[in-house]
Chain A
């Protein structure tokens, strides 16, 4: 049966030994939506993203992306069918310049093989030149063009986040997974980063799942939000209504019967 949803997660569970990190998760995300995933630390949010776009293979359950079963697919295949990712930690090609970082991310935009490399070098050189321009464009949109020849590891944290975003955007994914895009950023950077991110996502018409602890950021950008705690989805609502949900209040502020000061 072909699913009408862009991303459909059904009955997804993941256990590490005896620990059930995610249990029986169901989510439907439609195209063009910006979906927030929030919850306390260790709730299983990153595990969920890792199963959608990373290397984790769920214990049970199914993930359908544009009607295609992508459960347990190798990570480069997921990238090929259009899932891009910004990691929580700044994972970059550390000793590469910014341009090289983005050039590598444009890997899927060029077809090359041994024969072409040896005998059609002009053709490949022309294609590489186009990619170079494209990489410069991408760096310009995230505002890093002035330092494009800097080595990635030398950048301050905020700019490394932006570079991570540039890498994810360079792949032109249909679905982009942002794992705490504004983590560790100063207040003035947060706004800038969010503005850049959301305007670009809207411009390219991408669907997006955001994990974020900064609730104000979540409120300002997401269309819908799901709250996860102890591996279970405890609420899923439109952003404006989510914080009225009793279970959410309980998860974040503690319920009446679990007061810890007594």
Chain B
């Protein structure tokens, strides 16, 4: 029996599957590869946000993943399939090491620390010529090559459609893991820490440990996304205008807020919406950023739940219009509520 919930799940899945065929051009397929990578990055930065912290250094963790994966495949002869998890682990390890000292402070102070770390790491990658190629960048990153999968046969991931499907599978599995973690007690605990870290501590939650856990998880998946990015681009540079600059992190936060940060799939909606809209509005030329910017401001003001909150917002408007809410919830006559 087909339930509505499984239909809701299947529709985007089918849509994702059809993209390379439907658009039929490398241009659009490449765009959607970047959409998928950005979905993973934005969904993972939201994991940090769940505990109430805003990391401004997410692009740096993507960079760590990208460079680790690139250097391992170019210089150490690793295959992509091994370099991918290793790059996630490397990114997570760095997050673990800096997480414990950094997450002792919260709020704006944590954001400042992560900005500084992000830029420091980017400068390191930009200057470490022997390892990262420095200003010239790191080129010749191999594509994943061939992989024999039972039932499907041997697939060569050289083409962009094949790489698209590979990215789709890896991003989907990553999102599934993040989803299961969020729906479990980890998610409840994270939200509790965001609500009140003081009370969370008092009921026995190790606040520092759980915030670091979320930070490391997020950075692990940022590393995975970085690795996918590196093998897609085949050329990495770390100058300030590259993908690893601060502006990327700001974009992730923007996608998250536009899509709706309260829901798990908000970031995915936000990324797809903004990136596709950016492509479609290229003809506006110099007015493009004005257009996207004003739209973003409008969404933030008018849609507190983001794009993904639209159905619920419409529902509540309809309910308020057609149903007399007082009839459903009569004023309580609880003696405790009575005040002098």
Contact = CB atoms under 8 A, between A and B. Distances in A.
Interface of A: 53-55, 74-76, 79-80, 84-85, 87, 91-96, 100, 103-105, 107-108, 110, 112, 114, 117-118, 121, 124, 128, 156, 158-159, 167, 170-171, 186, 188-189, 192
A156 B336 contact: yes
B335 A93 contact: no
Contact of A118 (B177, B203, B206, B336): B177
B204 A171 contact: yes
- A interface: dominant SS: helix
17 contacts: A76-B204, A79-B203, A80-B204, A85-B202, A92-B196, A104-B189, A112-B184, A117-B184, A117-B185, A121-B180, A128-B185, A158-B336, A159-B336, A159-B337, A186-B339, A186-B340, A189-B336
Contacts of B186: 112, 117
Chain A CB count within 10 A is highest, among B198, B199, B207, B336, for B336
A71 B185 CA distance: 30
Nearest to A75: B201
Interface of B: 177, 180-181, 184-186, 188-189, 191-192, 195-196, 198-207, 335-340
A156 B184 contact: no
Given A93-B192, A93-B196, A117-B186, 12 more contacts: A55-B201, A75-B201, A76-B205, A76-B206, A80-B204, A87-B199, A92-B196, A117-B180, A156-B339, A170-B203, A171-B204, A186-B339
Nearest to B206: A76
A188 B339 CA distance: 11
Contacts of B181: 114, 117-118
Given A93-B196, A94-B196, A156 B189 contact: no
Contact of B207 (A76, A117, A121, A189): A76
A54 to B, nearest CB: 8
B35 to A, nearest CB: 26
A169 to B, nearest CB: 11
A167 B199 contact: yes
Given A117-B186, A158-B336, A96 B204 contact: no
Contacts of A124: 184-185
A192 B338 CA distance: 14
A223 B200 CA distance: 31
B178 to A, nearest CB: 11
B85 to A, nearest CB: 15
Nearest to B336: A158
A128 B198 CA distance: 24
B142 to A, nearest CB: 31
A132 B192 CA distance: 16
A95 B338 CA distance: 23
Interface centre among B181, B184, B198, B338, by most chain A C-beta atoms within 10 angstroms, is B184
A13 B180 CA distance: 47
B201 A79 contact: yes
Nearest to B187: A117
A170 B186 CA distance: 19
Contacts of A104: 188-189, 192, 200, 203, 205
A158 B185 CA distance: 29
Contacts of B202: 53-54, 75-76, 79, 84-85, 87
B337 A156 contact: yes
A76 B196 CA distance: 14
B79 to A, nearest CB: 25
Contacts of B336: 156, 158-159, 189, 192
Contacts of B177: 118
Contacts of B201: 55, 74-76, 79
Contacts of B184: 112, 117, 121, 124
A149 to B, nearest CB: 12
Contacts of A103: 188
A147 to B, nearest CB: 8
B199 A93 contact: yes
